[in-house]
């Protein structure tokens, strides 16, 4: 059985995670941009009345892109904290981290096209 201390510890971790999420939403421009994009796609989903499996694909990609964007921001923060000076290794680490977000973004774009092109063509 869970001890009360363990439950309190889990709750504390949850509060810290919310602090991190509010930092991302308020301070990180790239994360804010991705949230804006996600909101637009949710609005498009309601507008075109996409199917449950299309919602599944769309929400899955949104979760992936936003999570990777958050991890990318954390890596950038860590890199800046450890090495504020110009450094080739830090530049490479940041580029690789940004590249991981780009991979998810490219797949999200492709899935967006697969979902919405038939709905858009039906309007024409």
Ligand X SMILES: Nc1ncnc2c1ncn2[C@@H]1O[C@H](COP(=O)(O)OP(=O)(O)OP(=O)(O)O)[C@@H](O)[C@H]1O
> Which residues make up the interface to ligand X (CB under 6 A)?
29-30, 76, 83, 86-87, 90-91, 94-95, 98
**Please, which residue, 28 or 54, has the CB nearer to ligand X?**
28
Select the residue whose beta carbon is closest to ligand X and give its number.
Answer: 91
CB of 71 to ligand X, least distance (A): 12
Nearest CB to ligand X, comparing residues 38 and 58 = 38
Number of other CB atoms surrounding residue 67 within 10 Å? 12
CA 12, CA 6: separation in Å to the nearest integer?
10
Binding-site residues for ATP, in ranges, read 28, 76, 94-95
- Catalytic residue list: 69
3-state helix, strand and coil shares in percent for the chain, rounded to the nearest 5: 90, 0, 10
Question: By C-beta, is 7 or 78 nearer to ligand X?
Answer: 78
| Closest approach of ligand X to the CB of residue 76, in Å | 5
Show binding-site residues for a divalent metal cation: 28, 76
**How would you class 61 by CB atoms within 10 Å of its CB: exposed for 0-12, middle for 13-18, buried for 19 or more?**
buried
Buried-state track 107-119, b at ≥16 Cβ within 10 A, e below 16: ebeeebeebbeee
Distance of CA 11 to the CA centre of its chain: 23
Bind-site residues for substrate: 69
Shortest Å distance, C-beta 23 to ligand X: 12
């Amino acid at each position: 059985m869970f001890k009360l201390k363990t439950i309190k510890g889990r709750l504390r971790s949850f509060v810290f995670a919310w602090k991190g999420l509010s930092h991302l939403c308020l301070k990180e421009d790239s994360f804010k941009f991705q949230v804006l994009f996600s909101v637009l796609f949710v609005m498009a989903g309601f507008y075109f009345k996409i199917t449950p499996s299309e919602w599944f694909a769309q929400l899955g990609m949104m979760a992936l892109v936003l999570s990777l964007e958050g991890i990318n921001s954390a890596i950038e923060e860590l890199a800046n904290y450890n090495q504020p000076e110009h450094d080739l290794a830090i530049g490479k680490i940041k580029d690789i981290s940004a590249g991981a977000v780009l991979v998810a973004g490219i797949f999200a774009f492709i899935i967006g096209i697969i979902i919405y092109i038939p709905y858009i063509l039906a309007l024409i």
